[in-house]
Chain A
Amino acid sequence: MSSLEKRAWLTLWSQCPPYLVYFLIQAVWPNWLTTFQQRIACLAVVAGVHAIAYVTGLLWMKRQERGEPLLLDERDRAIDGRATRTAYFVMLTGMIVVGVVMPFSDSGWKLTNTALLAIVLAETVRYALIVAGYRRTPRLAH
């Protein structure tokens, strides 16, 4: 498995579970967190779990790779570039919704959470496409 693919798996595994829990709480029990401090604390816990899981995984990977630098060749860059192009449009759509459409009807934490959702979705799409890129049979166009 290439270094980029390993990092993509690591990002997916460290990012998706905590943010899935966070957005589930926001969607199913929107009134559970009432004060600003509670909401910020919840977000901080989720971001903290993500960061700890990612850094731990990264350190473990570095140890497995015995300190070798991350080598990316033309195939890795092609896969990454295609995934990033698609994720860009996910992010663009999310930002249009948050910055152009929602301000006319919503405000506060709804805007914040939708922006966060757009970022997490874009990142998830990017890394999922990277993982899929290493598995697809058809050839890549340069």
Chain B
Amino acid sequence: MPTESLTNEVRLLRFLAQDMTQAELGRRVGLTRQTIAAIEQGRYSPSLEVAFRIADVFGKRLDEVFHWNPGGREDAERDAG
């Protein structure tokens, strides 16, 4: 059962891009290394503009990098309740 409403493939795509570092990705999209780490861990959802920039760095479409699970948050809240 999904516990996140928004998931992403940033960690995998970094690995596939010759193991690009978080700092390098952050530099290319205008974020700090800490924020890239937070995005990968699902602790922060980037703005739409930054999400597009991240997808662009890997040459992917937005929906190939970020996935929206419509029932994720409700499921998580129900589980918590």
The interface of chain A, by Cβ under 8 A from chain B, is 1-3, 71-76, 134, 137, 139-140, 142
Contact = CB atoms under 8 A, between A and B. Distances in A.
A7 to B, nearest CB: 13
Report the interface size class on chain B.
Answer: 10 to 19
Contacts of A142: 47
Contacts of A134: 34
A71 B35 CA distance: 11
Contacts of B44: 75, 139-140
B43 A74 contact: no
Nearest to B30: A73
Q: Which 6 A-B residue pairs are closest in the complex by CB-CB distance?
A: A73-B31, A75-B35, A2-B34, A139-B45, A73-B32, A73-B35
A137 B30 contact: no
13 contacts: A1-B34, A2-B34, A3-B32, A73-B30, A73-B35, A74-B31, A75-B32, A75-B34, A75-B38, A75-B44, A139-B44, A139-B45, A142-B47
